[in-house]
């Protein structure tokens, strides 16, 4: 078979793919030039500066590249701020930490083991034949028809009672796979994987408190946990009276902390977050119990922005709001209970900067005061000194090489800038093209939409270039590159094949507040396209070399879903698309991701958002790729698109790859085929 792509008209062809096949034609960046660009970036610009610390905490040591292939060692005295040159690498140094030093931190105890002893050592629990035994005497009979006791046991600290989960035994959906081309056999192999999908019945363990004195068990009120998706983070307070856990509602409309009082036999919702659309529990939430559960550190979007609150662990009321404003807390890195300090990762704090840039801050839990630990106009990385007194900061942008600083942790004060962003002259002389940041308003003129553009390395002003959008629009995150890289992987490879490549984060993605993200609610097919198209058109007015009559799009997984949706819903703008391993119908994909955005029960919105539903609308050129062993997104999601295309007598191009899993479209062979696909249907520079 030759290297040209076979065109399919109403039929299916499977291609045996050699994933290590070489690149051909103008498809990829010349490897020697790529290596040269990477070398210049890393050495001249100190991209990979490795900061280390003396073991006594008195100085930081680092190697500076003064010329390609030549470096000198320097040391910064942290008290005097003076820098001295060293003859070589000293011996008394160690690497910094990825997380700050936290005094008094405790690891959680392992609490769930079959045959588990009580904390006082007087009782032994075991599970046998579906029954629970205490000191070899039956204390709980079998849970009942269609029910079972879980092996996890949570003893109260005083050993007077324990919590155990009662669960249902609904069958779990399985996806069946055929490994068509095993390496050691000529015969295919098959296997199955448990894979619950949107709308499936769930088995959710419900807590039951059991008393060692033989008192009647105390079960959770079903009204408090109606329509459970998950009951998680079970645990006792030190008083052995309060048992708490978190409830996540199916459809993610509610997230609660529920408390059961084992002494009074009462129960209640202690804390609740609720929303008519969704609470992004697995991405924008955080809980840490402090002072034995008398306080709770809680992350919430209750005012529309993700912020930290200190709650009363006995009443659930707010003791103190810790952060506030039209910016977000992205992550709680660590909590030092001894000093009542939290270290947090934040975005959007500096209004004049890109709201996605990552910054760091230190938070006083008793005063609610915050000390910013970074302020550079770029996205940041931090490494903490081993003794917890200082930290190094590396910040950069896609169009600015890194700057490295040493700062003091007590007040965030900059001690020294040890390496600043260097000149890009050498890179630009190597025909490297600097990425361009671009900002334009969304469809409603409310939010700034941020993105970047990459030009081909042989870009010439006045010529006309096809435009390719690299898309991933999953509501759980943001995806436009923020930090410095001389080479942006597949995007740069695509640009150097003769395209202007763009990537941006539109409405429906994360880290810009609840309203921004919730555009995706029951609306994944939107994928922010009105914002994307408006942004690309605005960029073309600044860069007239962008040919908007030749626009393509590619992406994988949720990006594959969006890619096909672009061709179906905006065919006048997007003329060609390459969709890899797409979750094209949200009823076919994993339960937790899809019910988070599409809600539960499964209703007509699922069909309305399915690419299969709209396949008759296809006008542009489509390339589909999928791995036959994709255990992330059921490969039948792509197969059903293929089936619908054939039935609709639509032309398309298709690779199903034996033995391959999720993301097969990013293997070298299929990256080349994707570039050739766009070159064929969109052409090159004119």
The DSSP-derived string for 429-474 is: HTT----EEEEEE-TTS-SEEEEEEE--TT--TT--EEEEEE----
When divided into structural domains, the chain yields a total of: 1
Q: How many CB atoms lie within 10 A of CB 138?
A: 12
**Residue from 72, 70, 95, 67 nearest 85 by CA:** 72
pLDDT score of 102: 79
Query: What is the mean predicted confidence (pLDDT) over 242-259?
Result: 98
The first and second tokens of residue 560, run together, are 């594959």
Sheet (strand 52-54) strand order: 83-86, 70-77, 59-67, 52-54, 93-95
* CA dihedral for 357, 358, 359, 364, sign (positive or negative): positive
For residues 617-635, give the mean pLDDT. 98
Residue 81's pLDDT band, with cuts at 50, 70 and 90, is confident
Give the model's confidence band at 299: pLDDT under 50 very low, under 70 low, under 90 confident, else very high: very high
Say if CB 355 and CB 349 are below 8 A apart: no
* CA–CA dist 54, 95 (Å, integer): 9
- 539 is a domain residue: yes
Q: Residue 7: what pLDDT?
A: 33
Q: Return the pLDDT at 47.
A: 64
Instruction: Report the pLDDT averaged over residues 289-310.
Output: 97
Angle at 199 between CA 194 and CA 205, to 5 degrees: 65
Cα–Cα distance measured from residue 468 to residue 459, given in angstroms and rounded to the nearest whole number: 15
- What is the spatial distance between Cα 393 and Cα 383, in angstroms, rounded to a whole number? 7
> Does 276 reside within a domain?
no
Do 598 and 651 touch, CB atoms closer than 8 A? no
Burial string for 47-68 (b: 16+ CB within 10 Å, else e) reads bebebbbbeeebbbbbbebeee
Q: Please say if the pLDDT value at position 4 is more than 50.
A: no
pLDDT, one tens digit per residue, over 146-188 is 999 999 899 999 999 999 999 999 999 999 999 999 998 999 9
- The Cα 653–Cα 492 span in angstroms is 24
Hey, what's the torsion of the CAs at 142, 143, 144, 148, to 10 degrees?
-100
pTM score, two decimals? 0.91
What distance in Å separates the CA atoms of residue 676 and residue 668, rounded to the nearest whole number? 12
Q: Is 667 left (phi over 0), alpha (psi -120 to 50) or beta?
A: beta
The pLDDT value recorded for residue 35 is 61
3-state secondary structure of 352: coil
- Other Cβ atoms closer than 10 A to 535: 25
What pLDDT, on a 0 to 100 scale, did the predictor assign at position 71? 78
Answer with the residue of higher pLDDT: 206 or 485: 206
Q: Across the beta sheet with 254-261, what order do the strands follow? A: 228-236, 242-249, 254-261, 266-274
Nearest to residue 579, comparing CAs of 649, 526, 647, 626? 626
Asked if residue 107 has pLDDT above 60, the reply is no
352 falls within a domain: no
Counting Cβ atoms within 10 Å, is residue 4 exposed (0-12), middle (13-18) or buried (19+)? exposed
- The DSSP code sequence of 256-313 is EEEEEETTTTEEEEEEEEE-SS---HHHH-EEEEEGGGTEEEEEE-TTSS-EEEEEET
Residue 431 placed within a domain: yes
| Cα(618)–Cα(410) distance, integer angstroms | 59
Helix (H, G, I), strand (E, B) or coil at 531: helix
CB atoms within 10 A of CB 155: 22
Comparing CA positions, the residue from 532, 524, 539, 549 lying closest to residue 471 is: 532
What pLDDT does 532 receive? 98
479 domain-assigned = yes
The pLDDT of residue 582 is above 90: yes
Q: Are 61 and 406 in contact (CB under 8 A)?
A: no
Rounded to whole angstroms, the Cα distance separating 117 from 134 reads 10
In a domain, 103, yes or no: no
Calpha distance 381→319 (Å, rounded):
32
Residue 246 lies in a domain: no
Cβ neighbors of 27 (< 8 A, separation 6 or more) are 493, 497, 671, 672, 675, 676, 679
Using CB atoms within 10 Å of the CB of residue 577, give its burial: 0 to 12 exposed, 13 to 18 middle, 19+ buried: buried
Q: Is the dihedral of CA 351, 355, 361, 366 positive or negative?
A: positive
Residue 60 phi, psi dihedral angles, 5° rounding: -120, 145
Q: Are 61 and 52 in contact (CB under 8 A)?
A: yes
pLDDT at residue 228, rounded to an integer? 98
Reduced DSSP (H G I as helix, E B as strand, rest coil) percent helix, strand, coil of the chain, to 5: 15, 35, 45
Predicted local distance difference test score (pLDDT) of residue 79:
86
Work out whether strand 621-627 and strand 651-657 pair parallel, antiparallel, or are unpaired: parallel
pLDDT at position 651 over 60: yes
pLDDT value of position 110: 46
Task: Pick the more confident residue, 15 or 265.
Answer: 265
Segment 78-86 mean pLDDT: 88
With 0-12 CB in 10 A as exposed, 13-18 as middle and 19+ as buried, what is 13?
Answer: exposed
In a domain? residue 606: yes
End-to-end CA distance of the chain: 31
The Cα 259–Cα 346 span in angstroms is 31
Mean pLDDT (the chain, rounded): 91
pLDDT confidence of residue 428: 80
Residue 335 has pLDDT above 60, yes or no: yes
Residue 12 belongs to what domain range?
8-38+426-682
Cβ neighbours of 189 (radius 10 Å)? 12
Lowest-pLDDT range of 24-33, 325-334, 610-619: 24-33
What tokens does 88 get?
């070589």
> Which tens digit of pLDDT belongs to each residue from 34-74?
665 665 555 556 666 778 898 888 899 988 876 666 778 88
Token readout for 610 is 């399915």
CATH number of the domain bearing residue 593: 3.40.50.1820
How many Cβ atoms from other residues are within 10 Å of residue 458's Cβ?
12
CA atoms lying within 13 Å on the CB side of residue 349? 25
Q: Which three-class secondary structure state does DSSP give residue 510?
A: coil
Quick: pLDDT tens for 359-400.
999 999 999 999 999 999 999 999 999 989 999 999 999 999
Adjacent-strand bridge partners of 553: 469, 577
pLDDT at 17: 30
């Amino acid at each position: 078979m030759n290297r040209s792509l076979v065109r399919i008209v109403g039929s299916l062809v499977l291609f045996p793919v050699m994933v290590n096949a070489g690149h051909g034609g103008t498809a990829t960046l010349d490897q020697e030039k790529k290596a040269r660009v990477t070398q210049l970036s890393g050495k001249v610009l100190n991209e990979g500066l490795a900061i280390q610390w003396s073991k006594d905490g008195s100085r930081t040591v680092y190697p500076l590249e003064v010329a390609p292939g030549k470096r000198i060692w320097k040391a910064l005295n942290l008290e005097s701020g003076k820098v001295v040159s060293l003859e070589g690498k000293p011996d008394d140094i160690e690497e910094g930490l990825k997380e700050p030093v936290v005094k008094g931190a405790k690891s959680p105890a392992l609490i769930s083991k079959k045959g588990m002893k009580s904390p006082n050592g007087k009782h032994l629990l075991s599970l046998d034949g579906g029954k629970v035994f205490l000191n070899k005497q039956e204390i709980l009979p079998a849970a009942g028809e269609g029910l079972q006791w879980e092996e996890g046991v949570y003893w109260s600290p005083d050993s007077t009672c324990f919590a155990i989960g009662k669960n249902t035994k609904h069958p779990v959906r399985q996806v069946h796979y055929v490994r068509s081309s095993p390496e050691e056999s000529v015969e295919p192999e098959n296997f199955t994987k448990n894979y619950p999908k949107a709308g499936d019945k769930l088995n959710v363990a419900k807590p039951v408190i059991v008393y060692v004195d033989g008192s009647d068990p105390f079960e959770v009120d079903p009204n408090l946990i109606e329509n459970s998706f998950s009951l998680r983070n079970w645990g006792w307070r030190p008083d052995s009276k309060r048992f708490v856990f978190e409830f996540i509602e199916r459809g993610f409309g509610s997230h609660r902390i529920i408390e059961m009082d084992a002494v009074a036999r009462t129960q209640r919702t202690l804390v609740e977050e609720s929303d008519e659309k969704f609470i992004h529990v697995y991405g924008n939430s955080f809980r840490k119990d402090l002072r034995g559960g008398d306080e709770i550190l809680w992350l919430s979007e209750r005012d529309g922005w993700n912020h930290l609150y200190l709650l009363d662990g006995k009443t659930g009321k707010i003791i103190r709001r810790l952060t506030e404003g039209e910016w977000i807390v992205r992550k709680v890195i660590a909590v030092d209970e001894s000093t009542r300090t939290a270290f947090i990762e934040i975005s959007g704090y500096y209004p004049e900067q890109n709201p996605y840039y990552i910054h760091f801050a230190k938070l006083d839990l008793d005063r609610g005061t915050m000390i910013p630990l970074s302020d550079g106009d770029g996205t940041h990385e931090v490494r903490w000194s081993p003794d917890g007194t200082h930290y190094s900061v590396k910040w950069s942008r896609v169009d600015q090489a890194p700057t490295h600083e040493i700062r003091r942790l007590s007040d965030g004060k900059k001690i020294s800038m040890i390496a600043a962003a260097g000149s890009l002259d050498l890179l630009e002389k190597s025909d490297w093209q600097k990425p361009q940041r671009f900002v334009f308003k969304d469809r409603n003129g409310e939010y700034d939409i941020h993105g970047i553009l990459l030009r081909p390395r042989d870009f010439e002003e006045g010529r006309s270039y096809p435009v390719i959008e690299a898309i991933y629009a999953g509501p759980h995150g943001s995806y436009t590159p923020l930090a410095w890289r001389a080479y942006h992987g597949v995007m740069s490879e695509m640009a150097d094949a003769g395209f202007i490549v763009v990537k941006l984060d539109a409405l429906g993605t994360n880290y810009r507040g609840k309203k921004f993200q919730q555009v995706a609610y029951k609306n994944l097919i939107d994928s922010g396209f009105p914002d994307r198209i408006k942004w690309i058109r605005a960029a073309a007015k600044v860069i007239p070399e962008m040919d908007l009559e030749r626009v393509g799009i590619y992406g994988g997984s949720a990006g594959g879903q969006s890619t096909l949706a672009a061709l179906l819903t905006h065919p006048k703008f997007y003329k060609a698309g390459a969709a890899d391993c797409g979750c094209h119908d949200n009823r076919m994909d994993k339960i937790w991701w899809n019910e988070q955005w599409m809600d539960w029960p499964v209703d007509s919105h699922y069909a309305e958002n399915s690419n299969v539903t709209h396949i008759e609308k296809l006008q542009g050129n489509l390339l589909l790729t999928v791995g036959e062993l994709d255990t992330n997104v059921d490969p039948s999601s792509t197969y059903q698109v293929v089936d619908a295309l054939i039935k609709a007598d639509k032309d398309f191009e298709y690779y199903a790859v034996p033995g391959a899993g999720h993301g097969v479209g990013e293997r070298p062979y299929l990256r080349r085929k994707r570039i050739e696909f766009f070159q064929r249907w969109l052409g090159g520079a004119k």
